[in-house]
A and B are shown apart, each in its own frame.
Chain A
Amino acid sequence: MSTIKLRAKESKGVVTVKAIIKHPMETGQRKNKKTGEKIPAHFIQQVICKANNDEVITINWGPAVSKNPYLTFAYMGSKGDAIELTWEDNQGNKDSLQGEVK
């Protein structure tokens, strides 16, 4: 199952995209309560969204973004646009999801 949930809706020429990504977003500052060891940083660094293969937004995130990050943004587009959201974290994991603007 994809880590991304994506919804995009068009109204008056503006497409609003909402997404939730399943990710722990560890800051690297928390400690494991039992062992006292630091939990290594593990967070999404970049999210890119493309609409019809054109980049509409590039997002840089630091560890201060909440766990299972939520995201909204908007662009000028139309119904039926093919959108693709891709993320990559600091450990090299990545995932992407394609969707259609409704």
Chain B
Amino acid sequence: MNRRNFLKNSLMTVGTITTLAGLMIKPKRLYAAWPKASFDITGLSDSINSVYGHNNLNESSEVILKAPDIAENGAIVPLNVKTKLKNVESIMIFVENNPQPLSSGYNLSSKSVPIVGTRIKMGKTSKVIAAVKSNGKIYTASKEVKVTIGGCGG
């Protein structure tokens, strides 16, 4: 290989590498992916399975779920979940009789204090389950909430 060709080739290689690198370093999406599959699943046990990969739940008094006994308006059901468990990774809220049981998930960081509150919609009377993942295990608390007017239909 003569010198000219060598230079030409190496320039081309450098060019290709830069283009490739440019393609690979796409602007990182602001968020981690939203778990679409878990939110689409109907049926409680499948839903839990899709979130954790198993159905190993431990009912625990360390998890405190605050929810009304009777929700007059199913469109706004206030929920509060807290726990004294340590190293909490996530808190998930499932509603058994909703079209898709998984209503919301909270991924905590090392700085988080495990308290979350929100308002959800409930189609009809159902068991609400709060699941807390701590040290790789799932602890739950559940409560039956009566709904007089559903919040999912039109």
Contact = CB atoms under 8 A, between A and B. Distances in A.
Interface string A60-78: 1111111101111111110
Interface stretch (B56-64, B101-109, B136-144): B101-109
B61 to A, nearest CB: 21
Contacts of B48: none
A32 B122 CA distance: 20
Contacts of B78: 70
Contact of A73 (B103, B106, B153): B106
For chain B, which range describes its interface: under 10, 10 to 19, 20 to 34, or 35 or more residues?
Answer: 35 or more
A74 B113 contact: yes
A39 B75 CA distance: 16
A57 B107 contact: yes
B116 interface: yes
Nearest to B92: A60
A101 to B, nearest CB: 13
A69 B117 CA distance: 10
A65 B118 contact: yes
B34 A46 contact: yes
Chain A contact residues: helix, strand, loop or mixed: strand
Contacts of B95: 64
For chain A, which range describes its interface: under 10, 10 to 19, 20 to 34, or 35 or more residues?
Answer: 35 or more
A66 B112 contact: no
Interface string B27-59: 000111011000100000000000000000000
A86 B31 CA distance: 10
A71 B115 CA distance: 11
8 contacts: A27-B152, A29-B99, A29-B154, A64-B122, A65-B118, A73-B113, A73-B116, A75-B109
Given A66-B77, A66-B119, A75-B112, 16 more contacts: A16-B115, A27-B152, A30-B152, A58-B32, A59-B107, A60-B105, A60-B107, A63-B39, A64-B103, A64-B152, A65-B103, A72-B118, A73-B117, A74-B113, A76-B111, A94-B30
